Structure 1
Amino acid sequence: MAAFQICAQVWLTTSLLADSLAVAGQALLASAFAKKDHYKVVVTTARVLQLAVVLGVGLTAFLATGMWFGADVFTSDAAVIRTIHKGVPFVAGTQTINTLAFVFDSEWRGMASIRIG
């Protein structure tokens, strides 16, 4: 249970980091969409998605190495560390998908918040 809590909290922390990119993209996208600047909508969408992939891959690499070699920061219990190592592929491996999911959701909400009349 201790290893699960550590993995879950690390995953949640990085999810909130991804959400910060998503919220910023949502605000930029809603602003451009409200001004009916369709070129800026397309450029903003593309750039935020590119940044999401870069952030996701960066978080994957950072968490894979950080949790593998730095699990002892959270605990000194060898059994918990071994269990954390079993969770590293999931926690690190889902970061790119997670980041893209947050960004896609926020971009959709950014466009949906403006009614075209």
Structure 2
Amino acid sequence: MAVFQICVQVCVQALLAGVFAKKDHYKVAVTTAGVLQLAVVLGVGLMAFLAADMWFGGGVFTSDAAVINTIHKGVSFIAGTQTINTLAFVFDGEWRGMASIGIG
């Protein structure tokens, strides 16, 4: 997830800085919308992957029923927050992209 965050932030910063510098507000809106849509899709995908991995893979590292039960209780919270996390990373990248050219 950390590598994803860095890649998204750098890409968003570069894209937004370029279109802001050209003062092309339509491309700013399109770029922002596209990146946010990609973040939602990737966040939902990561959520599904983590939920399945944690639910079915909980017994890989332990056979203790109490630990596996605790993992299953935490799956919904951890997996459910991944879409929110990806959106937070994108907004941070967008903010830094705008701030890098003096708009934020």
**Same topology, TM > 0.5:** yes
Aligned residues: 101
Q: Which residue of the partner structure matches residue 9 of structure 2?
A: 22
Aligned 8 A contact 1:56 1:96 in 2: yes
| Aligned-residue CA RMSD (Å) | 1.7
5 Å matches for 1:31-70?
Answer: 31-70=18-57
Question: Structure 2 vs 1, CA of residues 24 and 72 (structure 1 numbering), >3 Å: closer, same or farther?
Answer: farther
| Amino acid of the structure 2 residue aligned with 1:26 | Q
Unaligned runs of 5+ in 2: none
Cα distance between partner residues in 1 of 2:79 and 2:56: 13
Cα distance between partner residues in 2 of 1:71 and 1:30: 43
Greater helix share, structure number? 1
Q: Which residue of the partner structure matches residue 76 of structure 1?
A: 62
Q: TM-score, normalised by structure 2?
A: 0.83
Cα distance between partner residues in 1 of 2:56 and 2:102: 49
Following TM superposition, by how much is the alpha carbon of 1:103 offset from its aligned partner in structure 2, in angstroms? 0.6
